[in-house]
């Protein structure tokens, strides 16, 4: 299940990044070439950046690709390291649960607000928050279930 979700998020992130690039190039060309700036370019570029970054957050959780400090795990024996990493993963699950619920409330709160330039509901850009945190939570739970089979005492018996 999570493979196609990862591909979808990568596609959304890449499309948003491409849109961001095109909008910034168009904005600079219009401003310096013709002396006008379309009113929507900055706002849409900002929303594209948000969606791109947050899609990348969820994908990084799935691939375990986040930057981390490994000073403590490097000091531990393999068994203790496994427990340390699972503890950090469980703390991250708790954090992602909190962030997901807070993000849903934020999207609900933003429903009555519109953007300055495009006059669209702010729920659309804010929707990236619960999508990213919720899918990151799903990805992390799947990864935790898979990592349980790699526990250090499995082959000891």
pLDDT digits (tens, 9 = 90+) for 73-96: 899 998 899 899 999 999 999 999
Half-sphere exposure of 9 (CA within 13 A, CB side): 27
**Cα(137)–Cα(107) distance, integer angstroms:** 18
Domain boundaries, the chain: 2-156
pLDDT digits (tens, 9 = 90+) for 96-155: 999 999 999 999 999 889 998 899 999 999 999 999 999 999 999 998 988 877 666 554
β-partners of residue 114 are: 121
Q: What is the DSSP string of 61-90?
A: HHHT-S----HHHHHS-HHHHHHHHHHHHH
In this structure, what token pair is assigned to residue 149?
Answer: 């089979």
């Amino acid at each position: 299940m999570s493979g196609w979700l990862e591909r979808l998020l990568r596609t959304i992130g890449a499309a948003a990044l491409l849109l961001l690039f095109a909008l910034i190039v168009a904005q600079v060309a219009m401003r310096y070439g013709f002396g006008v700036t379309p009113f929507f370019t900055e706002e849409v570029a900002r929303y594209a950046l948000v969606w791109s970054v947050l899609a990348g957050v969820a994908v990084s959780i799935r691939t375990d690709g986040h930057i981390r400090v490994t000073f403590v795990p490097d000091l531990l024996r393999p068994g203790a390291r496994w427990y340390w990493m699972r503890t950090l993963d469980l703390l991250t699950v708790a954090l992602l649960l909190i962030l997901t619920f807070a993000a849903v409330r934020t999207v609900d709160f933003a429903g009555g607000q519109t953007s300055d330039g495009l006059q669209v509901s702010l729920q659309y850009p804010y929707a990236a928050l619960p999508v990213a945190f919720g899918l990151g939570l799903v990805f992390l739970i799947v990864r935790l279930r898979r990592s349980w089979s790699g526990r250090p005492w499995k082959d000891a018996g």
